[in-house]
Amino acid sequence: MRKTWVKRDNIYYKPFYKQKLKLTLIGVLGLGILFFVYQLVYISQFLPSSSSSSSSGSGSGSALLAAQMRPPLHSNSNNPVASAELGADGVPPSPSPVANRVHSSNSGISQHQYAYIERIGSHERMILRGIRLRDLDRYTEPSSMSRAPFRCLQTGRELSWDRVNDDFCDCPEDGSDEPSTNACTEGRFYCRFQKRHRTGRGRDRSIPSGWVNDGVCDCCDGSDEWLPTGGSVLPVRPCPNTCSTKYFL
């Protein structure tokens, strides 16, 4: 009689937790699903929030309550953002010759009051207030002869650069043509300081554009308050800088 060798695994029942191949495949599949969900959550942070914009127009009563809950405007010369733009005495400093050349070349996109000067190495660049830094190229007026028009971020509608920050809402869907004014009800003003994860990820911190230059500090760096309010001719008082310099985990 010929003997036939049979594996022991085929004779006895093997519990599921000892089946290493199946456990490995299930673990890889679970990690793939978890990574996919994490990417969806991360991408959704860059989409415009409709709930935040709709809550800004819910009524004057809620806006008044929000204004009362926000910290009042206080004078503080230790704010690096305000002191760089207004000085410790609250008076705007005279722009450098480099900034004057940038301003004269880009006079179509904004007046000087709607932009701030950012020093990058030995160069200075004028950046519009209230925009996301990842949209900086879309808010930079080309210097070539055949200048491309400005396009609304959401709809792509083409506008001339003279209509950017002209205090009239030409992009009512997202208010992207008025990043530094409160002309658009759906507009968002993005604070200059953005709190980020140490990897660079995070949500862009913004406020409704109706809160800009209302006399109340909404951004932790006070970048939403730089013009006098209520027809006052006195210089604006710098907001206190309450931003955390550490990244969150």
Examine the domain organization and report whether 140 and 28 are in the same domain.
Answer: no
Tell which phi-psi region holds residue 204, choosing left (phi > 0), alpha (psi between -120 and 50) or beta. Answer: beta
pLDDT band at 246 (very low <50, low <70, confident <90, very high): low
Same domain, 213 and 129: yes
Assess whether 33 and 112 both reside in one domain.
no
Q: Could you tell me if 153 and 225 lie in one domain?
A: yes
Query: Using CA atoms, how far apart are residues 170 and 152, in angstroms rounded to an integer?
Result: 9
DSSP-assigned letter for residue 76? -
Last residue of a domain, one of 10, 31, 48: 48
> pLDDT digit string (tens) for 167-207?
899 998 889 999 988 889 889 999 888 766 666 666 778 88
Shared-domain flag, residues 87 and 23: no
Number of domains in the chain: 2
| Helix extents (H) in the chain | 20-44, 50-56, 60-69, 80-86, 97-105
Write the pLDDT tens digit of every residue in 80-113.
444 444 444 444 444 444 344 333 444 444 457 8
Do 61 and 136 have their domain in common? yes
**pLDDT for 32 beyond 90:** yes
| Residue-range definition of the domain harbouring residue 36 | 19-48
For residue 68, the model assigns a pLDDT of 46
